[in-house]
Each structure stands twice: as C-alpha cells, then as structure tokens.
A and B are shown apart, each in its own frame.
Chain A
Amino acid sequence: MTNISRRHFLAIAGTGLASTALGFPAISFGAGKNVVIVGGGIAGSTCAKYIRAMDGSVNVTLIEPKKTYVTCFMSNEVISGERDIKTTHFGYAGLRKHGIEVLHDMVISIDPVAKKIGTKDGIKLNYDACVVAPGIDFRWDAIEGYDAKVAETLPHAWQAGEQTLLLRNQIQAMRDGGTVIIVAPQNPFRCPPGPYERASQIAWYLKNNKPKSKIIILDPKPKFSKMPLFVAGWQRHYGYKSSNSLIEWVGGPDGGEVTRVDPKNMSAIATSSFKGDVINVIPPQIAGKIAHVADLVDEDNGYCPVNHASFESSRHKDIYVIGDATIAAPMPKSGYAANSQAKVCAAAVVAKLNGKSAPVPSFVNTCYSLITPNDGVSVAMVYRLGAKGKIEKVKGAGGVTPKDASDAMRKREATYAYSWFKNITHDIFS
C-alpha cells in the first residue's frame, strides 16, 4: 500500500465510485436484502422492475404460475374479433433481464412472523419485504347455479386467456338473431367500465356480422362508470333505445339483479327470466386467494386494507399489497392504477430497506374504453395523499371525455387508447 502510486490509487477509488453507482454491497444498506413478489400480473411485474431500477442491490424474486401473462385490458377487442389475442401475450424475459428471478410456481403460504413464503413445488424463501399482488378471485357463492365448473360453459372472461377465447368462440358460433346476456357485477370490481366496453365491442361485431342479434346487460347497479358516454355512444352506433337497438341495459331498480343462472336452460333469472344463446356471467369479486390464506383481507370487505403512502398491509408488517386486491378507493381497480400503486410501493419498499421513510407518493389513473375501433372515451384522475394519509383526488383535476367531444376527438382518443396499451406494457414487460 505504501508504494502505491497516486495515479493507481485514484484509479481504484474511481472504480469504487462506479461500483457504488451500480449498487454493489459496500455502502448501500439495501444490499443483499430479499424481496419476494407474489403474483406476476400488472402490479407485481411493475413492482419487481421498479424495485430493481431504484436499488439494484436488492434481490427480487417474482413468483407467478403462468409462463405467459395475458392482459385483461384490450381483451374485449379479442372477444369482438378486432384483436389477435397474441398481441396481449407477454412473457417474463424482460423482467429477467433486469435481474429479477422469475419462478413459475404458486405461493401457498406466507408466514408474517418468520418472514417466509412457501410454494406449491415445495420451495421456501425468506423475505425482508413481501409484495402480494394476487389480483381477484370470484364470490362463487353469490349467484345460485354459478361456480367455477359452470364458468367453463358460461364464461366470465374476467381473467384473460382461455376464458377470453371461450367467450369469443361462443359469440362467433352464435346464430344471427341470437341473444348475448352480460351479467354485470356489484361494486367494487375489477375494471368498472369493462362490462360496458365489452357490450360495445360485441355490438360492433354483431352490427357487422349478425345484425339481427341482441345484447342484454343485466345489472344490479343503478348506474355505471362513464354511463352518459356509453349511452351516447350506443345511440350513435348501435340504435340504443330505438326499436332496433343492439343493446339493452336493465339496471338494478328495474329488476336487473341476477340471483340465479340455469345453464341447462340457458337463462339468467332476475325478477324475470332472460334466455340467452351466450351468457357471460361476471360474478362479484374479492381479493385473490393467497391474500385470504395469508390473512391480509378484511373479510367484511373482501379486499386488503393498506397504508396508502406505502401500500404496506394494515394487518401484517413488511407485507405489501398492490393492485386489484387492495382497498385503495377512490382509485379504481384498473390496470393503470395497479401500475401506479406498484411504483409507489416500490419506492416505499426500497426506502424502508435503506432505513428511510416512504417518500411522498403521486398516483394517476386513466381508463380508456373503445366503443368502436375509432370511437374512444376516457376517465382520468390524478391522486395524492390527503391530510388524513388517505388517497384523494386532486381537486379540479381529472374527469371524463366531454359529452360534446367531436367524432374527430374521440377518434384521437381511440388512437391514444392503443398508445396507452403499447406504452404501459412496454413499461412493465420490456
């Protein structure tokens, strides 16, 4: 050491600087810490990527049963035939390139005291922080006659992939003059405008291929997300409220709440019985299974209570919950919301692992709905943390597409909907 030249020493010191920038163990407190992420959907994958981007010294393991993720958003276009499902397929090579270990397995246990997770294949992993992003599960007992087995003939298509194609194929096989029934769910549920974009997309298909057919939406709710915009769009394109309407909506107050389905007779029973050639039942929802197993759910509510600054579980320390499984109102359960929460959570996890407090968050959501391939409407909002530490909308911001927006502007919105799809999936999976 004594004979080391000054030049050589500075070269070594310079390397030290570079090593630190890349996050090697020497000085960062986050170094060598382990984060396990349960669920590789929109929220989980975003969180994995952003933790690595914010602190490359943290080890991130993502556990997801599926080898290919299929997005729910844009799946309504697959159902109408406007989109090839392959464009909604995303693999995990991108995440692996960011140094995330991706295991295709299923988490079956989370021990919050020992800070250990267990998988179906028998793997046990210790964690310093665990992020749970399991999406939704269905209340299979909510509608008499409907369960997971019946869903193989009366699809929900509310988890994308096989179910999406099942519903698409049924509609394509349906005779001209047939009836498609959509049973919409009670609040809160994944993707509030989703059932109504689905009706719009199916109507687009029927208009161009089977114009004598009908869609009946049976809804327990008195109104729904972006309702005035959908109604106006259905009037523009689908003859809504006319004698030739492709779409009929029966709201809760008018007897739209379905309590039973009869698969053998292909009917959905509300205050009266509705027969359908295709019946799409979207049951009421709760947090994904593992959240219940891990005691992260408020069972009166069905979803997971979290600290809104960090998304740490209110029930168990060092476990975070993000995406559709959380109680994060006024944020909706949407893809963009999941992505937004995941980034806030990533920053909070990294801060905690480095001995700092969660940084001040900023959230955003935009939901695009395609009434036709050239007619798009949106709802947007910017959120911050309010005085009581709860997420709140920024006053005066956000809102829906103006009612008097021109056809040209709604055509632009449709292109922006496609741009959102490309950019957000690039953000997450590339």
Chain B
Amino acid sequence: MSIKFLIVILIVMLGLILVSSALSSAPTDTDVSVPSTTMLANTCAGCHGVNGSSVGPSSPTIAGMSRDYFIETMEAYQSGERPSTIMTRIAKGYNKKEIELMAKYFSKQEFVRQPQKYDAKAAKLGKKLHKKYCVKCHEDGGRSADDDAGILGGQWQPFLRFTMEDFTTGKRPMKKKKQERVSKLFKEHGQEGVEALIQFYGSQK
C-alpha cells in the first residue's frame, strides 16, 4: 500500500468523523445560556406544526418564510404593532439571539401545503386580482418568500381572512405601497375581492 493511499484514507476518515459529530445527537452552542436552534424550534410545533407546517384549520404555516420576515414578524408581535390573540404573549418570551436562530431554521423548512376546500369561480377571480394588486411583493402566485413578505400561496384560509380583516380595518399597519394597493383592491372589489384572493391562495397545492 502506498503512502499516498494511506494519507487519502486518513483524510477521508477524519472527514467522516467531523461530519458524524456534526450530524449526531444534540448540537452544542458556543453561548451556554442560549438554547439550541432545535430546542427553540421544537416549542413551536404544537400550534404551527412539525417543522413549521401547520395542519390547520387556522394556525398559520411558518415554514419557508425569509429570515428577515420572520424576525420582522416576531418583533412586530413583541411590540404589539401587529395585533394577535396569543403571539404577542409568546413572542415576548424570546430574545434577539433566539429569534435569529428560529428565523434561520424556519427559513430553511419546506412549506408543506395541505388540500383546502375552495370555490373555483372565486379562485379564478382571485388569480386575476392577485396579478393586478399583489404579485409585485408576493411573486409566483404568492408562494415566493423572496420579497421578505408573507407566503400566501397554500396558507390556511381562515388565517388569511383574519389578516386581511386586520389590514382592511386599519388594525394592522401596512407600508405605504401596500396600503395603496390594498386600499385600491378594497375600493374596487370590496370584501368579494378579498375573499376571491383568499380562495385563490387556498386553492394552491
């Protein structure tokens, strides 16, 4: 056996050991007072589903949203700027570092869509309205997370209904461009238009 060959074997074994310790058992953190990413993410599954994909009927899937949007969302709940039933009380339980760890984790999770009942006619209208009013920040039928906005495609319809109600009644603040588009949508198509959008998003598999 050549020396070169032995060196190759040693390097591969070292690689295996390093990879193995990274993959096996609980991850270790350098900061001893911060729970691990897994430990933190595990606490959310009770309402938001395994790996952040909710099985409904209304609590939202949080898998796949961008890191920045996750952080923005949790901070909005902490301050109370975004209305909620329970999330303000929960969000206040985590510090900046913990939220960053959760944000990184959930941004990497797959948004698993469950089939929902939908009105095909309304969904057809919703598709048109989406292209007219929403697509700029909710690309790819609302499935994209790239614009640091909420993932709408395949999200639970009751949750979308709650959020649209909060937007259109002024309870939840919107950035200026969004405010303009939502106002225009509501002015030109009313509640029927809002519901059509919800049917469109709920129709996606």
**Which residues of chain A from 365 to 384 have any CB-CB distance to chain B below 8 Å in the complex?**
366, 378, 380-384
Interface status of B141 (Cβ within 8 A of chain A): no
* Bound CA–CA A381/B32 (angstroms): 22
Q: Are A415 and B158 in contact (CB under 8 A)?
A: yes
- Which B-chain residue is minimally distant from A396 (CB atoms)? B92
- Does A165 sit at the interface, judged by CB under 8 A? no
Closest to B48 in A: A423
Closest to A424 in B: B46
Partner of B25, one of A54, A383, A426: A54
Do B46 and A420 touch (CB < 8 A)?
A: yes
Which residues between 16 and 70 of chain B lie within 8 Å of chain A, taking CB atoms?
A: 16-17, 19-21, 23-29, 32-36, 38-40, 42-50, 54-59
Any chain A CB within 8 A of the CB of B3? no
**A260 and B120 alpha carbons, distance in the complex (Å):** 62
Assess whether A422 is interfacial by the CB under 8 Å rule: yes
The answer to whether residues A364 and B16 also contact, given A1-B1, A356-B28, A359-B26 and a CB cut-off of 8 A, is: no
Contacting residue for A419 out of B35, B56, B90, CB 8 A: B56
Is A155 in the interface zone, CB < 8 Å from B? no
Query: Which residues of A in the span 328-350 have a Cβ within 8 Å of any Cβ on B?
Result: 336, 339-340, 343-344, 347, 350
Task: Assess whether A364 is in contact with B86, with CB atoms less than 8 Å apart.
Answer: no
Once A28-B20, A397-B89 are accepted as A-B contacts, the answer to whether A350 and B25 lie under 8 Å apart by CB is: yes
Is A274 on the interface with B (CB-CB < 8 A)?
Answer: no
Most chain A beta-carbon neighbours within 10 Å: one of B20, B33, B58 = B20
Q: Are A17 and B16 interface neighbours, CB within 8 A?
A: yes
- Contact residues, A1-53 vs B (CB, 8 A): 1-2, 9-10, 13, 16-17, 20-21, 23, 26-30, 50
Q: Is A361 an interface residue (CB 8 A)?
A: yes
Q: Which bucket holds chain B's interface residue count? A: 35 or more
In the complex, the answer to whether B28 meets A359 with C-beta atoms within 8 Å is yes
Bound-state Cα–Cα, A36 to B49, Å? 27
CB atoms of A423 and B25 under 8 A apart: no
Which of A362, A363, A383, A426 neighbours the largest number of chain B CB atoms within 10 Å of its CB?
A362
Interface residue? B8 (CB, 8 A): yes
Q: A residues 397-427 with Cβ under 8 Å of B?
A: 397-399, 401, 405, 409, 412-413, 415-416, 418-420, 422-424, 426-427
Pair B58/A359 contact, Cβ less than 8 Å: no
User: Which residues from chain B contact A420 at a C-beta distance below 8 Å?
Assistant: 46-47, 59
B186 at the interface (CB under 8 A from A): no
Query: Once bound together, how far apart are the Cα atoms of A383 and B57, in whole Å?
Result: 27
Count A/B pairs, Cβ under 8 Å: 175
In the bound complex, residues from chain A placing their C-beta under 8 Å from that of B28 are 356, 359
Does A394 contact B32, Cβ atoms closer than 8 Å? Answer: no
Docked Cα-Cα span, A399 to B56, in Å, equals 24
What A residues does B45 contact at CB under 8 A? 423-424, 427
The interface residues of chain A lying within 8 Å CB-to-CB of B98 are 362
A317 to B53, CA, bound (A): 37
Contact A381 B93 (CB under 8 A): yes
Contact of B23 among A20, A419, A426 (CB under 8 A): A20
Q: Given the known A-B contacts A54-B25, A397-B90, A419-B58, are A360 and B36 also in contact in the complex, defined by CB atoms under 8 Å?
A: yes
Q: How far is the CB of A385 from chain B (nearest CB, A)?
A: 9
A29 and B26 alpha carbons, distance in the complex (Å): 12
A324 at the B interface (CB under 8 A): no
**Structural contact, A401 and B85, CB atoms closer than 8 A:** yes
Instruction: Identify A360's interface contact among B35, B42, B93, B162, CB under 8 A.
Output: B35
Chain B residue numbers with a CB within 8 Å of A353 are: 25
Instruction: List residues of chain A with CB within 8 A of the CB of B59.
Output: 416, 419-420, 423
Q: How far is the CA of A174 from the CA of B98 in the complex (A)?
A: 53
Is there a chain B Cβ closer than 8 Å to A278's Cβ?
Answer: no
What's the nearest-Cβ distance from chain B to residue A337, in Å? 10
User: Is B90 in contact with A423, judged by CB distance below 8 angstroms?
Assistant: no
Chain B residues in 8 Å Cβ range of A415: 57-58, 158
Q: How far, in whole Å, are A362 and B57 apart by their CA atoms in the complex? A: 26
A354 proximal to B (CB < 8 A): yes
* A17, A50, A363, A427: residue with the most chain B Cβ atoms closer than 10 Å: A427
A-B contact pairs, 14 of them (CB 8 A): A13-B16, A16-B16, A27-B20, A28-B20, A54-B38, A340-B42, A343-B39, A343-B43, A347-B26, A347-B39, A354-B25, A356-B25, A364-B43, A426-B55
Q: A residues touching B (Cβ–Cβ < 8 Å)?
A: 1-2, 9-10, 13, 16-17, 20-21, 23, 26-30, 50, 54-55, 57, 336, 339-340, 343-344, 347, 350-351, 353-354, 356, 359-364, 366, 378, 380-384, 394, 396-399, 401, 405, 409, 412-413, 415-416, 418-420, 422-424, 426-427, 430
In order of increasing CB-CB distance, the 3 nearest A-B pairs are: A382-B93, A397-B93, A419-B59
Given contacts A20-B16, A360-B36, A423-B59, 8 further A-B contacts (CB under 8 A): A27-B17, A30-B25, A339-B46, A359-B29, A359-B36, A360-B29, A360-B35, A409-B85
* B interface, CB within 8 angstroms of A: 1, 5, 8, 12, 15-17, 19-21, 23-29, 32-36, 38-40, 42-50, 54-59, 85-86, 89-90, 92-94, 98, 158, 162
